[in-house]
Structure 1
Amino acid sequence: MSIQRVFLGWSQPALRTAAELIFARSSNPGFCDLSHVAAVFPGREAGRRFLVLLTDLADGRLVPPRILTQGQLPELLYPPQRPFASDLVQRMVWAQALKSVPEGDLRRIVSRPPATDDWQAWLRLGDLLRRQHAELAADRLDFADVAREGAFLDGFDETDRWTSLSRVQQQYWSLLDKLLLWDQQTARLVAIKNKECRTDLEIVTVGAIDLNRTTREMLDQVSDRVTALIEAPEDWADRYDAHGCLIAERWADLPVDIAPNQLLMVEDAGAQVEAVLETLSNLNGRYAVDEIAIGVPDPRLVPVLQRTLQAQQIPTHWPVDRLLSATAPFRLLEAIAEYIGDRRTEHFAALIRHPDVAAWLNRQSLPFDWLTRWDDFVCSHLPPRVGWFPEIEDDTTVALARRLVAAVHGLLAPFATVSLPLSRSSTPVRQVLLQVYGDRTLEVANPDDARLRESLKTVLAAFDAHQSLPPSLDLELSAVECLQLTLSSTGGELYRAADGPAIALSGWLEMPLDDAPVAIVTTFNENFVPSSVNHDLFLPNRLRSHLGIEDNARRYARDLHNLTCLLHSRQEVRLIVARRDALNEPLAPSRLLFATRPEQIPERVLQFYNRKDVKPRSGPVLGKSQFTIPRPRPLGEVRATFRVTEFRDYLASPYRYYLRHVLGLEVASDDLAELDGAAFGNLLHDVLKQFGQSELKDATSEAEIAAFLDEELSRSISINYGPDPLAAVLIQAEQARRRLAAFAGWQSRWRQQGWKIHTVERGNRAPIPFSLGKGQTVSLRGRIDRIDFNQSTGQWALFDYKTGDAGASPEKTHRYKDEWHDLQLPLYRHLAEQFGVTGDVRLGYIVLPRDVNCVEEKFADWSEEELETADDVAREVVRNILEERFWVELSEPSQSMTEFDCICQAGVFGQEAVV
């Protein structure tokens, strides 16, 4: 008896018709018992919705059917004779099989085999073969079949390769046999061969239009128990085979009628979202949210759609709550594996920033700002690996770093074992996860807690599964290897039911069995609808077609069928075609758009490539931006002291000055790969300070000065950056060494001109009063890099060391178009008076630029009148600060303090203000 085919027609979505049909066949008055039915769907979401529809039809009085996906169906039909090998076991056995074949066979499979001890590379290669084996077995083929059948394909030159692959496959089967295990694909083929398929259930396939050959032959053995429900009218029966699957060649030239108002051509991902909103608006509230489905062939668009619709108070539901690999426990174990593998500082930083590790550290009696202080430690010392700490007395940052590292290493102590069998790897994993999550109270109704509970359960189950490994596969591995091996074999998705009525977001393949009367399909573009595989390493499309496995023709037929069903069975359909994707890469329109009358094809091509219809963006969906630049708040106290270096910041941007000097905001980061400009300058400053305080400060010998500076630089590098600095730091140290050597020559010549170092790095002994007029006075403070005196001329020189690459002059850094924008050197005059600096005072820089031939002094030639003007500007700045004038809009964007660009919306379209 053949499989019964039932055509559901297009009067409404197929899922509703299927539910009504099965309910009508099996219901008794007041009760519906479907326990004898197994309903099979292409995906799990259709099965979930099918149960909802049945429950509504039965008014809750229902014994539900078994709900299966196509991939779960085969194991319902036969009794496995042996346990199944897990995916990890299959990978390991494939790897063993590869390593056991002669080298000639191996090199025909892969030109450069992995090193013998590189087990991870062998496992990756084994996983690749496992996937090819699974796909071919689904259509009752093995590697030998490919070698044999491929020989009849013109231009096929892979016979030797597939013959070698066949030998590996034979060895794989032999090794599994010795372990008394089967893989699922082989078990199904044996069940077919031995005619073992049977069932007492009524099997109903719904929309199963693309079953593989293995599943179809298993159904043939129970055909009298199978009904195929097909989403099409009866007069289309010749386009479907006896199993209800598509006959691909019958769809190749089938035209599809898309009305002009059903097609929307837009520019990019953002325009797609706007088109969705416009379509929803045009529905004028005629449909409830759960009567609308949005197809999302490109899952990258899902987060954008969710955020945008949520902002409009439109609920949505995407069934995939989270990939397991994106859950907190999985990412925690990934971070642990990365860190304990090499102890690199950047991996330690990633580990302590994991939200759950950070929460655990907050419970370990550390200072509240432990992360900020760790960042300070890393920025100051750039350790490439964790474990080295500078010997600096009374340095609280270093002390905190030691405590933090000790705490984390205590947490990771269970992984300190040099090696352990894979079967025992769950013990340290469980201990660490218990430390991190053991104090958490999980609420059943809380979605975040539910996700955490499910992810912990799945991850621990993956490690626990190793306890049943055959002894020959129970490898002795390091903790890192155990973690990496298990995590690479553990994946999947966590699903979440809708919290209430919502617009369903579905993948393209799920759309035909969504029962919403409104269908909006985004990214209706080539490679999404339909998808294509043309460059498969083992099975290119031409070979696929020859072997009769899934190829581009089958994908085309499947997607044309899906589109046809949507167009005929939905009340409203909109297809949105984008010219560019979420990454701004160009897209082509779906070839399904050209399955139409010949005269329409040029129209659609022109419509897609004609940008005259591109609408300007309507701007933010919410109208006015919800993000504003935070306004300055009133200060609680009046400032009385000002650093001479802060005036330039106010002159550049009063608002950014407020962020830096009033709120004290600064960049905190630990991702530096080299000394930044400030750290490089500080390194040179420290060495020059030591020189200025040494007995050699009055030396005239260039060689002696250079030797001192060279030794001092090496000592500073060792103290601050350890015995094994980053390579970039070593390079920068050599750059600093060249500049210091050039400085030694300049210093020698300068001293021979009669100049002596009077003092270096001198700060205020006491506050320096600075009159604002009208009896109002504030204090100045600061540190002068170097004060020199020339006994023969009686002149003083107030110097600031400048280590920037350009070596700019004081005039260029302090003034622009005769207006002051830095007051540091002019205000040095007031600071220097306490050191007895009076009379003829010169202000300038000692520049140590990238071009070492340009190391020199650069003096400013400002008149007394200009310096008085600078003092007046300083007084005006202080008055403005005291009057809290921080919100000052600028005529053009500020080029300084760029770390605050994000707060100030710099470069943002529709920027609120330029500050």
Structure 2
Amino acid sequence: MVISREFVTWDRPILHSAADWLIRSATVSPENLPLVDLSHCLVVVPGGLAGRRLVELLVQKVEHDGRSLIPPVVITVGQLPEHLYEAKLPFASELTQQFAWGETLRAFGNDQLKPLIPFPPDANDLGTWRDYGDSVRRVYRELVSDAFDFSEVAQKAHSLEDFTEQPRWDVLAKLQSAYLARLDTLQMWDKQSARLYAIKQDECHSDSHIVLLATVDLNRATRQMLDQVAGKGGKVTAIVGAPDSWSDHFDEHGCLVADAWTDEAIELDWKSVAIVDGPTQQADEAVGAIASVAKKYTAKDIIVGLPDEHLLGEVRRIFGQHGLKCRFGPGRSVVSTLPFRLIETIIELSQTRQYNALAAALRHPDLFQTLTFAQPGIEKLDNWFNKRLPDVIDNSIQNEEVSQAVGKLNELAAPFVGEKRSLPEWADQVRMLLLAVYGSQTIDLDTEANFQLARPLQAVNEAMTQWNDIPETLSQAFGASEMLRVLKSQLSSSMIPAEHDAEAIEALGWLELPLMDAPVCVVTSFNDGLIPSANTADLFLPNSLRNLLGLEDDSIRYARDAYQVQAIQHSREVVKWIVPKRSADGDPLAPSRLLFTGSTNDLANRVHKFFGTPEDPQNQAKQPGQDAQDHQQRIAIPVPDSLEVVEMPAWDRFSATRINQYLKCPYRFYLKYVLRLRGEDDSSTELDGGAFGNLAHDTLQAFGTSDLKGSADEKVIFDFLSAELSDLAAKRYGKSPLATIKLQIEQLRLRLRAFAAGQAQHRQDGWIIHRCEAEVAGPYPTILVDGNEIELEGRIDRIDHHPESGQWAVWDYKTGDSTGDPEKDHQIGPRNDKKWVSVQLPFYRHLVKSVGVRGEVSLGYITLPKLGEEVRFREAKWGESDLDEADATIVQAIQDIRAGKFFPPGDVRYEDEFSRICQDTVLGKWEPAQ
């Protein structure tokens, strides 16, 4: 008997046509009961989601006719082989296979392995050996799925011209024999090898009616097994989701004929194709497509395809802004869930004293609650970190709450320190950890907690249960980090499905889209490399070798994706193809080549539509009223311009720093000084400009107030500064600061060496240091604003005096990388119309009066620039009229502050704690709402 093919139209959802066909093929009850009996059918589907939906449709259709259903057995393609033969030995689990391959490689001998692994790891590096073994296992599994093994590949590779990998495949063939022999001694079977054995021994059979539903890319081994079943009288039917007229595009198994699809024209309606810029615009376009059909369709009628699953976060964010929910069908990886991250965090903390490990543990939501660690504790921890920037945890944490939390964490981490254990022993320790954190919780399986906690905990426990099945000959003693490596490898592909939500729009991966029956389909990331996908670099099986062996190569992937595009396009009522030009990183993307396979009549226009500029009329053809609709669809979080102040400060005293901050950005001034907002985190990896400047200022202040301030000896000056810098750095940042801070300290030391030379020369020129860090603490100088005397306060970095000439000089230390020009820093604009953007130095001429300085003073910078540039004393060349304008700027700023004028934000070109609030990088942020 041959495999029969049944073509069902793709002008309607394929699952519906398949369900109708199955009902028609049901066994008729001899008693004429209203019963649809499909128990004799074994239905094979590409994925589990399609299988569940098929059963739902069968139930709905049968019950609609007033009948009852005995459903078929529905399995996925990967489960089919084990239904076609009888295993004579228990199968080795994937974990056992991985261990067996690793041990096989480790025992093979380094000299023999050189063609495969030129630089083998140390014999005791078991984790790396397992990783190598797992790489080999994956290649072996793929080959066996196409009815090959390493020995056959080694033989066939001889026919490839200029093939240079023959020695490698010869080694792999020997490794295969050794690996299978190792499993034989364990009385276990490798599942893939067992399938190949069943084929070679002609053992495949089935009493069920096997129905292959849209399984268009079965591997060779599965097809050979089905051929044996059919050859022995078994009934096999392939349901193909395509019209009869396309029969030459499918082989006898209902699988794609790659050559038939190579030159096939994929005619897409270009009105359904949207070309956008990047991820956010993709999500915006998807929302727009959904909004355009919202009157006719509900959430259950819409699916969103995500060929690039990294887009999910942006889609959820933009959907949420529009009041839409998005459910990702495959769910989330177990290793990204809180229970697994808890294990990971505690083990990392047990292995290192680094601050990052402690911070991650204290911020873990579940540990946070277990430790009864309050939010102020995190803020205190951040504050301590930002003051010391430690690399490792020391005893300098003085806060009692933080110290208690650290102590509790150390108790949880203690079992994972030092000692090596077997995997089953480690499983007990992991379970005790999870019980300590989650044991007191009662989880309602009907709530979200089931998906957030119960299922991840179950997945972790099931993975650890497999550790008991590892044969003793493969069992080893592990450190905690090695154990975690094994657990993470096991769970890396395990997914926790998302909770069902009838109001959510379903988002699915590319391969699951064709069989889903929602009438509206929005496909994102319609780009080359994703659709069609490509195997750009394979360590063992390059495309030329795949072609020779008949394995899945780029041509087969192309055929599969071309078919899926056709099936989606024909079976939906509404389809939207979204093509981004850029990735999230800003890298350019190419459109799917499937967009250019149709008629050549308008090919140039299609190419121009994608690669043309946004100004091109072809890229801006819109329907009447489209501009208004686009504006409504474009979401922006407006910077609030109606500023409400609960309590306005008195504003009867000002410093230069506050005036300067207002001049740079009135809105930031409002956030900082009126609302008193501040940012606090522990993301710093080096001293910021403020901390670096403070360290320099304090070191220089120590010199300026010391007995050596009058020295003209460069070496004496530098030796003092260098010693003072070391003392200050040790007090602030401890004995183990971050490596970047150590480097910054040494960079500052080099700048101080240059300062010592400049200071020595300055002293020889007759100048002496009069005051350093002169604090104006009253009586305060004043400036007249609207008839009121407003006090001025602040601190002057340094005041110098020249006794012979009677001159005074006020200096501001500058430690930035630029050399610092006082005029350019304070004023911008053309020569005759300059605008004051900083009043730091002009402000000082008012402050010096309160510290006893009378008469004319010069103003300027002492620059300590980066390595290679000399320290300079830069005097500003301002006249009285310039300084009068500076005073007017100060008065105007004070007037505006007191009047509550804080909007709009200034044009700030640097990132700070308020950048996101001010939307510095958002284009069009000042567009008025419509």
TM-score range, shorter chain: 0.7 to 0.9
User: Which residue number in structure 2 is paired with residue 39 of structure 1?
Assistant: 43
Write the letter of the residue equivalent to 1:87. E
- The TM-score normalised by the length of structure 2 is 0.86
Greater displacement, 719-728 / 272-281: 272-281
1:373/1:400 contact within 8 Å kept: no
Q: Is it true that 1:7 corresponds to 2:19 in the alignment?
A: no
Greater displacement, 755-764 / 86-95: 755-764
SS in 2 for 1:664: coil
2:633 paired residue among 605, 610, 622: 622
Cα deviation digits, residues 224-273 of structure 1 (max 9, x gap): 254332324456556544433344445555x4462645763625456655
Write the letter of the residue equivalent to 1:904. C
User: Which residue number in structure 2 is paired with residue 163 of structure 1?
Assistant: 170
Change (3 A) 1:653 1:149: closer
Change (3 A) 1:793 1:137: same
Write the letter of the residue equivalent to 2:15. L
User: Which residue number in structure 2 is paired with residue 258 of structure 1?
Assistant: 267
2:645/2:675 contact within 8 Å kept: no
Write the letter of the residue equivalent to 1:614. N
User: Which residue number in structure 1 is paired with residue 53 of structure 2?
Assistant: 49
User: Which residue number in structure 2 is paired with residue 855 of structure 1?
Assistant: 871
User: Which residue number in structure 2 is paired with residue 697 of structure 1?
Assistant: 709
Q: Is it true that 1:471 corresponds to 2:475 in the alignment?
A: no
**1: distance between equivalents of 2:748 and 2:730?**
14
Write the letter of the residue equivalent to 2:502. G
2:779/2:850 contact within 8 Å kept: no
Cα displacement (A) at 1:772 = 3.8
Cα deviation digits, residues 128-157 of structure 1 (max 9, x gap): 111111111112211001112222344444
Cα deviation digits, residues 598-641 of structure 1 (max 9, x gap): 76767766666566421289555535634334643224254244
- Write the mapping of 1:547-558 to structure 2, written as runs, cut at 5 A: 547-558=549-560
Greater displacement, 860-869 / 327-336: 860-869
- The TM-score normalised by the length of structure 1 is 0.88
User: Which residue number in structure 2 is paired with residue 387 of structure 1?
Assistant: 394
1:674 paired residue among 686, 709, 716: 686
1:767/1:781 contact within 8 Å kept: no
2:284/2:318 contact within 8 Å kept: no
**1: distance between equivalents of 2:708 and 2:594?**
83
2:349/2:413 contact within 8 Å kept: no
Q: Is it true that 1:908 corresponds to 2:922 in the alignment?
A: yes
1:7/1:232 contact within 8 Å kept: yes
Change (3 A) 1:649 1:72: same
Change (3 A) 1:291 1:686: closer
- Write the mapping of 1:214-613 to structure 2, written as runs, cut at 5 A: 214-223=221-230, 224-233=234-243, 240-252=250-262, 255-256=264-265, 258=267, 260=269, 264=273, 266-269=275-278, 276=286, 285-309=295-319, 311-312=321-322, 316-361=326-371, 363-364=372-373, 368-387=375-394, 389=396, 405-438=406-439, 440-447=441-448, 449-491=450-492, 492-496=494-498, 498-500=500-502, 503-533=505-535, 535-573=537-575, 575=577, 585-588=587-590, 590-592=592-594, 612=616, 613=618
User: Which residue number in structure 2 is paired with residue 392 of structure 1?
Assistant: none
SS in 2 for 1:144: helix
Write the letter of the residue equivalent to 1:615. Q
Write the letter of the residue equivalent to 2:919. Q
Unaligned 5+ residue runs, structure 1?
390-394
Write the letter of the residue equivalent to 2:420. S
Cα displacement (A) at 1:903 = 1.8
**1: distance between equivalents of 2:778 and 2:398?**
27
1:742/1:852 contact within 8 Å kept: no
Write the letter of the residue equivalent to 2:435. L
Write the letter of the residue equivalent to 1:470. P
1:738/1:852 contact within 8 Å kept: no
**2: distance between equivalents of 1:637 and 1:503?**
47
User: Which residue number in structure 1 is paired with residue 151 of structure 2?
Assistant: 144
Change (3 A) 1:437 1:875: farther
User: Which residue number in structure 2 is paired with residue 657 of structure 1?
Assistant: 669
Cα displacement (A) at 1:56 = 0.9
Write the letter of the residue equivalent to 1:901. S
**2: distance between equivalents of 1:902 and 1:459?**
38
Cα deviation digits, residues 846-880 of structure 1 (max 9, x gap): 33333676434444565667656655543443343
1:877 paired residue among 893, 900, 913: 893
2:267/2:599 contact within 8 Å kept: no
Greater displacement, 437-446 / 276-285: 276-285
**1: distance between equivalents of 2:911 and 2:571?**
59
User: Which residue number in structure 2 is paired with residue 735 of structure 1?
Assistant: 747
User: Which residue number in structure 2 is paired with residue 72 of structure 1?
Assistant: 79
1:93/1:176 contact within 8 Å kept: yes
**2: distance between equivalents of 1:556 and 1:812?**
60
Write the letter of the residue equivalent to 2:538. D
**2: distance between equivalents of 1:384 and 1:446?**
41
Cα displacement (A) at 1:679 = 1.9
Cα deviation digits, residues 167-191 of structure 1 (max 9, x gap): 0111111122222322221222334
SS in 2 for 1:533: coil
**1: distance between equivalents of 2:648 and 2:608?**
67
2:299/2:502 contact within 8 Å kept: no
**2: distance between equivalents of 1:596 and 1:650?**
60
1:710/1:737 contact within 8 Å kept: yes
**2: distance between equivalents of 1:708 and 1:589?**
64
Cα deviation digits, residues 173-211 of structure 1 (max 9, x gap): 112222232222122233444555455544322112222
SS in 1 for 2:633: coil
Greater displacement, 372-381 / 231-240: 231-240
**2: distance between equivalents of 1:872 and 1:251?**
76
1:760 paired residue among 768, 772, 779: 772
SS in 1 for 2:115: helix
2:768/2:802 contact within 8 Å kept: yes
Q: Percent identity?
A: 37
1:265/1:608 contact within 8 Å kept: no
Write the letter of the residue equivalent to 1:878. I
Change (3 A) 1:286 1:797: closer
**2: distance between equivalents of 1:369 and 1:628?**
28
2:14/2:517 contact within 8 Å kept: yes
SS in 2 for 1:542: helix
**2: distance between equivalents of 1:837 and 1:534?**
74
SS in 1 for 2:772: strand
Cα displacement (A) at 1:482 = 1.3
SS in 2 for 1:768: coil
SS in 2 for 1:697: coil
Cα deviation digits, residues 439-458 of structure 1 (max 9, x gap): 55544343365233212221
**2: distance between equivalents of 1:269 and 1:820?**
39
SS in 2 for 1:800: strand
Cα displacement (A) at 1:18 = 1.8
2:392/2:736 contact within 8 Å kept: no
Q: How many residues align?
A: 902
Change (3 A) 1:818 1:581: closer
